[in-house]
A and B are shown apart, each in its own frame.
Chain A
Amino acid sequence: MKVHIHVSLKPGVLDPQGRAIHHELEALGFSGVNDVRAGKLIELDVADGTSDDDLDQMCRKLLANMVIENYRIEKLEPKRENA
């Protein structure tokens, strides 16, 4: 089972990287960008039947730093290989 873990900075935590990207987009002439926040996407391939609780614990114990980051777990639909 493929799972995407989206890790993002909590609201209110300054994101210097996002700010630099924002600045660069404006420098390239793109107007109307109000804000940029940069995060991480971690792709997991886990055994079918891995529990939601296990996925949650993976995020809390390692993948996200709960002091500064939030995470969102997205389970991807399995591809139909022979359809």
Chain B
Amino acid sequence: MGFRSAVITFPGSNCDRDMAVALEQVSGSAPIRVWHGDADLPDRLDFIALPGGFSYGDYLRSGAMAARSPITKAVVEAAGKGVPVLGVCNGFQVLTESGLLPGALMRNASQNFVCRDVPLKVENNQSLFTAGYEAGETIHIPVAHHDGNFFADEETLDRIEGQGRVAFRYLDTVNGSRRDIAGVLNEAGNVLGMMPHPERAIEETHGGSDGRALFENAVKGLVRA
């Protein structure tokens, strides 16, 4: 049986198609598209992706409304059962707002929207999402966000660092994130939230393909399992 993934679309998501294309190119199977109003997720999912965008117009706080929608409850339940969940950009904001990941994503310290390729250091290459990279490797992935300034208190930061849960770190000043954190894993390692967009860097015509290994490794790891 093929790779069975789902991409969740909220009103205002705008990277859902890119995410679906990336997953299909790498896995050979088109993901199931799930609308925010759907009550349940499809069964037997291998992978769930929360795409970027501006769900619910970023009303109240980025990701706040989407995090409380019924489908996100289903995603939280699935994550609890070990289904891998990748949240990119607004998807990362939804994951912190839902409590699946620690911290919060605040307005960029510069107050400006930042949209460019950024260098990232792969801090943890032991996760399903990052095992296709070398530890300490530098990769280039585009960012495009206004609210990517990762905040958590010092105690939380020490804990997630100590547990090896920082997946990616910016090698450049991007948005004011505490300790330059660009991507965070949950404790079990099956949930990754990141501000940079790996789905926008899967083939050379995108200007780089450093994001491809993330999807390839997830697909490979899950098909083997």
Classify the secondary structure of A's interface with B.
Answer: helix
Residues of chain A lying within 8 A (CB to CB) of residue B61 = 65
Residues of chain A lying within 8 A (CB to CB) of residue B104 = 65, 67-68
A20 within 8 A of B: yes
Residues of chain A lying within 8 A (CB to CB) of residue B176 = 14, 16
A63 to B61, CA, bound (A): 9
A16 to B110, CA, bound (A): 7
Q: Which 5 A-B pairs have the closest CB atoms?
A: A67-B104, A68-B104, A16-B111, A16-B109, A16-B107
Q: A13–B64 contact, CB under 8 A? A: no
Which of B64, B110, B149 interacts with A62 by CB under 8 Å? B64
Among B60, B97, B109, B111, the most chain A Cβ lie within 10 Å of the Cβ of B60
| Those of A31-83 within 8 Å (CB) of chain B | 61-63, 65, 67-68
The interface bits of chain A over 1-33 (1 if a CB of B lies within 8 angstroms of the residue's CB, else 0) are: 000000000000110110010000000000000
Q: A16-B176, A20-B111 are in contact. Are A68 and B68 (CB under 8 A)?
A: no
Q: A63–B60 contact, CB under 8 A? A: yes
Interface residues on B, range: 10 to 19
List 28 interface pairs A-B (beta carbons < 8 Å), by A numbering: A13-B106, A13-B151, A14-B106, A14-B151, A14-B176, A16-B106, A16-B107, A16-B108, A16-B110, A16-B149, A17-B107, A17-B111, A20-B111, A61-B68, A62-B60, A62-B64, A63-B60, A65-B61, A65-B64, A65-B97, A65-B104, A67-B96, A67-B102, A67-B103, A67-B152, A68-B104, A68-B106, A68-B151
